[in-house]
Amino acid sequence: MLGVALSALAAASPPAMAVERGEPEQKEAPKKDDPNAPPGIKPAPGAPAYLTVPLFVIPVIEGGNVTRTVSVGIGLELVKGKTLEDVKAKEAVLMDAFFQELYGLFAQRASAERIAQPPIIKARLMRVADRILGPGVVSQILILQLFERPKMA
């Protein structure tokens, strides 16, 4: 009986034993031959780099009340030769500037039937990207998602 218990204990994996002792479970990094690991997708040689920013959810305030919200998903296509490392240092400043620009834009257009107009959003965010990252870093702004909750009556 003791032999069965010892063999079961020896077969238990170290993470399982750590959980039994009340220690936090530590996950191992996926191995290269792990079939459940995400595939290593590499861009084609010479392809531009893309930066996808978190989804912006912008409230539109009229008369002290939120009358609608606009959700905007944005991607930036960098010019050839620029990498994500080139913009990493200014990413937080860029996200803040994008949020401020969208908030101001939608506040200006609050009386319009539809306030989220892709060409206007792209042009305004391109000016912001040029101001923060420098001209010639971003080749285009991509609208990945755009949703406007209708105006509340």
Residue 27: band (very low, low, confident or very high) from pLDDT cuts 50, 70, 90 = low
What are the sequence ranges of the domains in the chain?
50-148
Asked whether the predicted pLDDT for residue 143 surpasses 90, the reply is: yes
Lowest mean pLDDT among 7-11, 24-28, 39-43, 120-124: 7-11
pLDDT of residue 30: 45
CA neighbor of 74 nearest in space, from 138, 139, 141, 130: 141
The confidence score (pLDDT) of residue 117 equals: 93
Confidence of residue 17 (pLDDT cuts 50, 70, 90): very low
Single pTM value for the model: 0.69
pLDDT in tens, 72-124: 999 999 999 898 998 999 999 999 999 999 999 999 998 888 899 999 999 99
Phi-psi category of residue 105: left, alpha or beta, with phi > 0 → left and psi -120 to 50 → alpha: alpha
**pLDDT (0 to 100) of residue 112:** 86
- DSSP-derived 3-state class of residue 141: strand
